[in-house]
Amino acid sequence: MSERQLREAICQLAKSLYDRGLTHGSTGNISSRTEDGGLLVSPTGTSFGRLDPARLSRFDAKGRLIDGDPPTKEMPLHTAFYDTRSTAGAVVHLHSCHSVALSLLPDSDVDSFLPPLTPYAIMQLGRVKLLPFFVPGDPAMGEAVRGLAGKRAAVMLANHGPVVAGKTVEAACNAIEELEATARLALMMRGLPARVLSAEQVSQVITKFDVEWDK
């Protein structure tokens, strides 16, 4: 994919997320690796519904801003995934309503934030780590991701929103949508006798689809 095509894809995917209410206002940020090892990043204070391909923040392979508007204040979060996960080709962060709501509940599982309701979240996300609350823009968020040593493709920032790394920008967007959909299901089934996947069924999914599953 050429850089021009990648710029267009980032903006189109971001607008799709925005149009369907998966993030709002000027919340959320998105980035993707370029062929030369640099990054394209959504600028600070911009809306996913109105990103301009020509104004995306452009970094070179050494991490220097070389073109476009100033980047999102969550750059430490993005670079932490790229630096610790060799397979990371894109990172998406949203302020999606249902996943944030699930993170507010006191009994949320820190090591496996999403309950095993369907195979698809397991296949696309692996185990999702729930991280504590950080003030937006705090570099400590990036340090918390680095502390996972590349073992998680997705984290949930408590009271804030999910962050997902994928091989491509489309894969990262698909995965974060699955995270939000699973969180919505979890809230819908809360208090009901839901039949979650058994440990054996989860193991079957992990084995069949070669899922990265940190213990």
All residues at 6 or more sequence positions from 14 whose CB lies less than 8 Å from its CB, including other chains: 28, 30, 42, 48, 49, 51
Q: Is there a domain that residue 214 lies in?
A: no
Q: Is there a domain that residue 101 lies in?
A: yes
* pTM for the full predicted model: 0.96
Q: Is there a domain that residue 20 lies in?
A: yes
For strands 129-131 and 154-157, give the pairing: parallel
What pLDDT is stored for residue 213 in this prediction? Answer: 87
Looking at the structure of the chain, the number of domains it has is: 1
Comparing CA positions, the residue from 148, 149, 142, 38 lying closest to residue 93 is 142
Strands (E), the chain: 29-33, 39-41, 57-59, 65-67, 90-93, 129-131, 154-157, 161-166
Stretches in the chain below the pLDDT threshold 50: none
Which entry of 3, 120, 170, 212 is annotated as an active-site residue? 120
Q: Is there a domain that residue 27 lies in?
A: yes
pLDDT digits (tens, 9 = 90+) for 36-74: 999 999 999 999 999 999 999 999 999 999 999 999 999
Which entry of 3, 18, 74, 143 is annotated as an active-site residue? 74
Q: What's phi and psi for 103, nearest 5 deg? A: -70, -15
User: What is the extent of the structural domain holding 150?
Assistant: 3-208
Instruction: CATH number of the domain at 79, please.
Output: 3.40.225.10
74 is catalytic: yes
Q: Is there a domain that residue 215 lies in?
A: no
What pLDDT is stored for residue 215 in this prediction? Answer: 60
Q: Is there a domain that residue 59 lies in?
A: yes
177 is catalytic: no
Cα–Cα distance list, 51 to 45, 103, 146 (Å): 10, 28, 28
Instruction: Tell me which amino acid residue 134 is.
Output: F
Q: Is there a domain that residue 184 lies in?
A: yes
Q: Is there a domain that residue 213 lies in?
A: no
